[in-house]
Each structure stands twice: as structure tokens, then as C-alpha cells.
Structure 1
Amino acid sequence: MGKPLNIGVVGCGNIITQYLATFPRLASVRLVAVADLDFARAEAVAAGQPGVRALSVDDLLADPAVDLVLNLTIPAAHADIALRAIAAGKAVYGEKPLAATTEEARKVLEAAAAAGAVIGCAPDTVLGTGIQTARKAIDDGLIGTPISATATMMTPGHERWHPNPDFYYQPGGGPLLDMGPYYVSALVTLLGPVVSVIGAASHTRSDRTIGKGPRAGESIPVSTDTHVTGVLVHESGALSTLVMSFDAVATQSANLEIHGDAGSLIVPDPNRFDGEVKLRTLGGEGWEVLPVSAGYVDAARGFGLHDIAVTPAGTEPRPGGQLAFHVLEVMESVLESAALGQSVKVASRCDRPVAVPLTDLGG
């Protein structure tokens, strides 16, 4: 690898702060430039990062010093920025989802293939010790043959804490497309790709009231389903039940459970990088906490960029475009199934990402 991968960020919203906290820990990447439609925001970020330049979006995409564009724009702009970056000869890593729709995402992958560009996409939480320790337990046969999984995310809605939650209740939002990438990426990492789905969806309210911020008390319309459930049929034969809700109050269910014919796993929240993995074996007494045995130690948002930087040329990175496309199609298919009232086949496939051995990058 010789030298760090030079990163240029497009989009200086709230999420950039998490990446900025991670970059100093990763010798494999170096932030060199930032851009935003609001140039003042880019200037504010650059001012706190020695050696980092604030540029216009056009100038950043054209800058020969930028090797990879980190796309932190809103989902509706993901495909446009990715396509422009690819055309400029850059690699791209984006926040989830890969694009607003699979149609747009397909164009991104086709353009990248034609240009020989590397595409990566969040979430990279699956690279942490939580999901990867569970992955190793499955690969080591600790639960026998995987049979099923449950993935549960129950919240009363983002309007309780988010000052501008409108997007979450419009088409393209909702609990599945917002939080589903974490859960579906984890399920594919643990159990492999999905071949078909059955979905159902509903919403209980036609409007929501913002709870915090300058718009507190304002009512916003709800025009998308806010409770989604689905059954994912994995290529391996395992069945995953997915429940994503902005309508519920709370749950005591584990975020992820994986069940096999010889044991069961409780897997940490896939929106986190770490957490305890618990195993209960057939005939055993109670749950045992498994020692951390795989994944990037103390990982944080941005470790996916490191994974791209160290992945050999011509090899799909773990948080790669093929996985992100498959996850997006699975989610779209669940919503399509809910609308049609019938099973929907998932056309795309991706390889189950290569496991991450226990890796401590220090810092």
C-alpha cells in the first residue's frame, strides 16, 4: 500500500463528526479536502482539521489529490455524487444506502465496473468485534446448522429527538430504509445472501409532532409505512424474520438472534461495532458470554475506508458495492411484497463477505 488513501468528503452534515473522530486513528487513510453545497459548513470543518482544504463540490471531484470520495450527502444525492466521482476517476465510499433506489444503484455499479473504480458503502458496523465474533461462532459450528434469525428494531419514532424528522416519514424513509441497512447487512454477513422475501407493512398515524428543537410542536405528515415486517429466505435455507418499527414504544427482544440446531446466539445491536455475544448450546445451562474473537477492535464509523485501503486491487472490499446493492434490493423487495401481498424474488446475489480476523489497529 505505500501511502495513505487520500479522502475527500462531500457533505458536511452531522454525520461527518463521527468520521472526523476516526480518521486520526487510521494510518491507511488521510483526509485532504471537504466540500458542501453550503460552503461555510465546509470551511468550518476544514478550519478544525489541519491541512484539510475547503473546496466546492465540483473542485473536490476534479482534484487530482483526492483518491476516494466519501459521500455523506442525503440519500437522494448519493447516486449523482457517486456517478460524478467515478467519472472523475475516483473511488467512492458512501453512507447508506448505496442509492435511493436499486435502479439508481445499478447505474452506479455499472459505471464503476466500466471505469474499474472501487465502490464501498456503509454500514461498516459489521466489521466490528460484535458481529464478527458472532460470525466466527457460526463458522466454528458452535450453533450447528443455522436455521433461523430474528432482527428487531422497535422505537416510537425519530420525531421525539430529531429537529427535522420530515424525511423519515416520506417515501424513501421509514424504519426499514433508515435502519434496515444495519440489520440486513448483519444478516447477510452472518447467514449469506437472500433469495426471496415476504413482507407486510402498516402505519398507525397520519401525522407526527416534532418533540425537540426550534420546530417543537409542529405537526408533519406521514406518507410512508412506519411498521414493516418481513421474512427473508436465505440461499442457505435459513429464514430471518425482520421487524422494523417507528410505531412501537419499546421491546425486550434482542436486536439480533441467530438459531441453529445445536445452539442459539444473542448478537449485539448491529448499529454498534462492539457488544457482548452470548451463546446457549443444546443441553447447556444458561447463556455464556463468548470472548471477543474476531473483528476490528474498538472500531468506529470510517473503518470501512480502512478496509477498502487495505483490500488488494481487483478484490471486492468487505463493505463493497455488491453487498450494498443486495441489501438495498432486499429492502425494496420487502416493501414491494408488502404492497403486492405476495412473495418477491431477490434477483441480485453477493458473496458472503470475508470474515475479519481479530485485528487491533491501535490508536
Structure 2
Amino acid sequence: METVKIGVIGCGMISNIYITNIQRKFSMIAEIYGCADKRMDRAQLQAKKYQIKAMTVGELLKDQKVEIILNLTIPTAHAEISRKALLSGKNVYSEKPLAVRVEDGRELLLLAKKRGLYIGCAPDTFLGGGLQTVKKLLNDNLIGKPIFCNALMLSRGPESFHHHPEFLYQKGGGPLFDMGPYYVTAMVVLFGAVRRVASFTKLTHNTRTITGSIRHGEQFPCEVDTHVSSLLEFKNNVIANLTLNWDMNFSYWESKLPLIEIFGEEGQIIVPDPNMFGGISLNPMKQNGDKVLVRKGSGKFEEYPLEFGYIDNSRGIGLADMAYAIRYAKKQRASGELALHVLEVLTGILESSKDNRFIEIQNDCKTPAPFDILGTEFAQESQKQ
């Protein structure tokens, strides 16, 4: 089986884990062919590090060997780069969000459909063993019909670790667009599409100070709301509270609060970190958890082991799933339709706070198919060749 060749546009920090995982975990289906960046020195650095080609954006888009463009540019450039890639006949997989404006996201999906191309988008953490196990427990009716979900992400901002955090505090950033996709995507995968949202948001500080070791003490302007409190009503009548905050003095896992809790008619599930792939862990950045917690009725919480693989940092698994879908004419899971629905929920949250009203969500999406071990699927298909 010929691997699907991928061209990377955007050689910032996040490109490292994508390239590493494609080369080490998913090389049976995908191959990083080359990389490009508006700064050629960045592209050359990554090309040397990973033994791939350094190219200009134009060269990458024209190269007939490239089947997928992996769009890792800043959020405000996502729509423009993805559009250029589609017009060049390339399938597209983008970092989240799909776009900054719903109109742009909708246009991208229409363009992909018109040209018979795939378009997908992060996050793909819902394909990990943690959230896939929770999905199975819900499908098995372990806690009865879900009633309410509480999702909390209370944290310091990325200026505590990111070398260049400014873009995360500009349009298309903030906790809503940077961390919100993980939480909203997880809930959509677990409960289905959102019907409407109502929200309050606020900008707490007009300036932020870099506290990481590099550029320590430098200040920069904040242009986005850094606290979000929202209610989401799903089409299956589950009600969810979503709170996102970048104004704390600690990391989000140090709040000691469950990141996502699901309350059903017959029990409760504490869900793992939706920003990670594994189970519950005291520090998901350092340890891959191997369990979820379930309480039946009024009993005590019990540990349930994860039933699926990919519990370590498997970013890029959605991209690999897209490559598999392209090669075998199947549906991808981290799809453009899912990303567009999530994008409309996120923008609706801002609109609700601004206009002081409920926002009805127009774009629907289907829940992605359950995910087993990607390697097993590949092995089964390879044996047919």
C-alpha cells in the first residue's frame, strides 16, 4: 500500500508532535513529505530535524506528490491557507479552529465537496482510549440516560510556557477558541449536536505578562475574553455547563476539580482530560491515565479500565484516520462537518454574551463512528492487498 504524502504549512511548536507521530506511529499509512513556513528558516530547521524537504508554500501546493496539506498556521490564517490548498487540489487537515468565522468554515466545506476532496480538523483527542471508553460506557447505558454535564477548565494562560503567546490572545484565540474545541468536541462526540447556547464572557486584563523562562517579564496586549461561562443545550436534551478561564495562578489540572462530569439518571461518570488521549490522571501532562471513574446510584466511585488504545499523546491520529479514509474511500472521523458545528458553537457563545440572547445553532453534524485500534484497521486492509 502506498502511503499518503503530507505537506506541512506552519512550522511552529505544534508541528513537532504532528511530524513525530506521523513518522513513528502512523508511518504505515502516512508520510511527511515536506514542510513550508512564511519564514524559510523555520521550514529549513524542521526539514533538517526530521529529514524532510523544506519548500515554499507555493512549491508545496504545486507538488503533485502531496495529497494532504496539514495546516498548522495561526488561527486567523487557517481559512486562507485551507482555501488555497483546496483550490490546488489538495485534501486539508487543519489545526483547530477550522476558521475564525463560521462563514469561512462553511465555504471551505462547500469547496471541498465541490472538488471531491476531504477536509478535516483537530482536535482528535476524542479518538483516544479515554473518551472512546466513556462513549462506550454511555452507549452501554451504564449510568442511564444522561441529564447534565459540567465542564470546567480553570487555568493560567499559555504565556506561562509558550515562547510566542501573543497570537493566542488575538482574534481566534483565548481560552474559548484554544481550549474550547477540546471540550465542545468531546461533548458533541458524547451527546450529539448542540441545539442552542447562552453565555457570559469577560476580558479580565488588558495586558498579559510572559512568565516562562524565555522572554520572561515581557508584556503584550490582550484582545480577547479570558473568562467564559456558557450553557449548552443539546438536541438530545442534555444540558451542559461550560466554564473556561485563563486568569488563574495554576495549571488547569491543579484546580482539583473534575474537568468533565456526566450525571445520568442512574449514575455519574468523571471524564478524562479532553485535551489528552488517556484516562484520569493527577497530572495528564506527565502521566497517561488508564481509567475513568464511575458511580452507580448512590454508591462509591469505581475505577473502570480503558477499553481502547492510544492513551499517550497521539496528536495526528485524526490526520492518519483521514489518510486511511482517502486511501480506502471511507468516512473520516475528525471531519470538517464536526469542526464546523463546533466552530458555530464557539462563535455562538461569544455572540450570546455580546447580544444578551440565546443563539440557535444552525449547522448540524453526525456523531463520529466509534474508533478502535487504527493499526488493526490498517493491518486488516493491508492483508487484502
TM-score by length of 2: 0.89
Which residue does 1:287 correspond to in 2? 301
Contact 1:34 1:42 (C-alpha < 8 Å) held by counterparts? yes
Question: 2:188 and 2:307 mapped to 1: Cα distance?
Answer: 20
Contact 1:203 1:247 (C-alpha < 8 Å) held by counterparts? no
Taking structure 1 as reference, are residues 37 and 242 closer, same or farther at Cα in structure 2, changes over 3 Å only? Answer: same
Query: Residue deviations 1:6-54, cap 9 Å, x none?
Result: 111111111111012211221110111111111122122222334x221
Question: 2:183 and 2:93 mapped to 1: Cα distance?
Answer: 19
Q: Which amino acid aligns with 1:143?
A: I
Which residue does 1:139 correspond to in 2? 139
Which residue does 1:38 correspond to in 2? 39
Range 330-339 or range 289-298, more displaced: 289-298
Which residue does 1:252 correspond to in 2? 256
Structure 2 counterpart SS, 1:48: helix
Which residue does 1:201 correspond to in 2? 201
Q: Which amino acid aligns with 2:305?
A: P
Structure 1 spans left out of the alignment, 5+ residues:
none
Question: 1:318 and 1:283 mapped to 2: Cα distance?
Answer: 36
Which residue does 1:347 correspond to in 2? 362
Which residue does 1:330 correspond to in 2? 345
Query: Residue deviations 1:330-349, cap 9 Å, x none?
Result: 01001100111111101110
Query: Residue deviations 1:81-140, cap 9 Å, x none?
Result: 111111111110011111121121111111101101100101111100011000000011
1:112-131 pair list within 5 angstroms: 112-131=112-131
Which residue does 1:29 correspond to in 2? 30
Q: 1:173: how far off?
A: 1.8
Which residue does 2:275 correspond to in 1? 271
Contact 1:151 1:242 (C-alpha < 8 Å) held by counterparts? yes
- Of 300, 306, 319 in structure 1, the residue corresponding to residue 320 of structure 2 is 306
Taking structure 1 as reference, are residues 204 and 40 closer, same or farther at Cα in structure 2, changes over 3 Å only? Answer: closer
Question: 2:374 and 2:226 mapped to 1: Cα distance?
Answer: 38
Q: State, as a whole percentage, how many aligned pairs show the same letter.
A: 40
Question: 2:373 and 2:54 mapped to 1: Cα distance?
Answer: 36
Match status 1:356 vs 2:375: no
Taking structure 1 as reference, are residues 149 and 358 closer, same or farther at Cα in structure 2, changes over 3 Å only? Answer: farther
Question: 1:356 and 1:105 mapped to 2: Cα distance?
Answer: 25
Structure 2 spans left out of the alignment, 5+ residues:
280-290, 379-385
Contact 2:76 2:171 (C-alpha < 8 Å) held by counterparts? no
Taking structure 1 as reference, are residues 158 and 280 closer, same or farther at Cα in structure 2, changes over 3 Å only? Answer: same
Contact 2:6 2:68 (C-alpha < 8 Å) held by counterparts? yes
1:174-189 pair list within 5 angstroms: 174-189=174-189
Contact 2:60 2:66 (C-alpha < 8 Å) held by counterparts? yes
Q: Which amino acid aligns with 1:271?
A: N
Which residue does 2:108 correspond to in 1? 108
Range 241-250 or range 272-281, more displaced: 241-250
Q: Which amino acid aligns with 1:309?
A: A
TM-score by length of 1: 0.94
Structure 2 counterpart SS, 1:289: strand
Which residue does 2:17 correspond to in 1? 18
Q: 1:5: how far off?
A: 1.0
Large movers: runs of 4+ above 6 Å: none
Contact 2:102 2:343 (C-alpha < 8 Å) held by counterparts? yes
Question: 1:323 and 1:213 mapped to 2: Cα distance?
Answer: 37
Q: CA RMSD in A?
A: 1.8
Contact 2:278 2:310 (C-alpha < 8 Å) held by counterparts? no
Contact 1:146 1:238 (C-alpha < 8 Å) held by counterparts? yes
Contact 1:163 1:216 (C-alpha < 8 Å) held by counterparts? no
Which residue does 2:77 correspond to in 1? 77
Structure 1 counterpart SS, 2:179: helix
Match status 1:65 vs 2:102: no
Question: 2:268 and 2:64 mapped to 1: Cα distance?
Answer: 50
Structure 2 counterpart SS, 1:277: strand
Range 351-360 or range 114-123, more displaced: 351-360
Number of corresponding residues: 359
Range 160-169 or range 60-69, more displaced: 160-169
Taking structure 1 as reference, are residues 191 and 14 closer, same or farther at Cα in structure 2, changes over 3 Å only? Answer: same
Which residue does 1:319 correspond to in 2? 334
Contact 2:193 2:365 (C-alpha < 8 Å) held by counterparts? yes
Question: 1:70 and 1:164 mapped to 2: Cα distance?
Answer: 21
